[in-house]
Structure 1
Amino acid sequence: MPSYQTKTQWLALVVLGIVSALLLVVAITAFRIYFYGSANRIVKADAAIVLGAAVWGDEPSPVFRERINHAINLYKRGIVRTIIFTGGVGKNDHLAEAVVGKRYAMARGVKPANILIETESHTTHQNLEYAQKVASLYHQSKFLIVSDPLHLKRAVLMAQDLGMDAYPSPTPTTRYRSFKSQFEFLMRETYFYFVYLVLKF
Structure 2
Amino acid sequence: MYATGDSVKHKGIGKFIIIPFAAFTAVIIYHAIAIYQFSQQDETQPADCAIVAGAGVTESRPSPVFQARLDHAVRLYQQRLVRALVLTGGYAPGAAESDAAAARRYVLAKGVPADAVFIEERSTVTRENIRYARLILLQQRWRTALLVSDPLHMLRLKRIANDSGIDGRSSPTPFTRYQSWLPKARFLLRESFYYSTYRLFHPPAVQNASIRT
Same fold (TM over 0.5): yes
Matched-pair contact (CA < 8 Å) for 2:49–2:84: yes
> Contact 2:91–2:98 at 8 Å: present in 1 too?
yes
Matches within 5 A, 1:73-92: 73-92=75-94
1:128 alignment partner, one of 127, 130, 136: 130
Unaligned 5+ runs, structure 1? none
8 Å contact kept, 1:48–1:145: yes
Structure 2 counterpart of 1:183, from 179, 182, 185:
185
Cα RMSD of the aligned pairs, angstroms, is 2.2
Q: TM-score, normalised by structure 2?
A: 0.83
Partner of 1:111: 113
Distance 1:52 1:16, change over 3 A: closer
Taking the aligned partners of 1:93 and 1:57, their CA distance within structure 2 comes to: 10
Where in structure 2 are there 5+ consecutive unaligned residues?
A: 204-213
Give the CA deviation at 1:59.
0.8
CA shift in 2, pair 1:182/1:138, >3 Å: same
Q: Are residues 55 and 16 of structure 1, via their aligned partners in 2, closer, same or farther at CA, if it must alter by over 3 Å? A: closer
Q: Which amino acid aligns with 1:195?
A: T
Query: How far has the Cα of 1:16 moved from its partner?
Result: 9.0
Whether the 8 Å contact between 1:57 and 1:94 is mirrored in structure 2 is no
Which whole-Å CA distance do the structure 2 matches of 1:98 and 1:22 have between them? Answer: 35
CA distance in 2, matches of 1:164, 1:20: 34
Is structure 2 residue 29 aligned with structure 1 residue 27? yes
Of all paired residues, the percent bearing the same amino acid is 35
Spell out, residue by residue over 1:10-49, the C-alpha distance to the aligned partner (whole angstroms, 9 max, x if none): x99xx99987765444322101101212212221110000
Query: For each residue in 1:83-142, what CA deviation from the matched residue of structure 2 results, as whole angstroms up to 9, or x when unmatched?
Result: 000111112322111111111001011000111111111111111110110121111110
TM-score, normalization: structure 1? 0.88
Distance 1:71 1:169 in 2: 9
Q: Which amino acid aligns with 1:64?
A: F
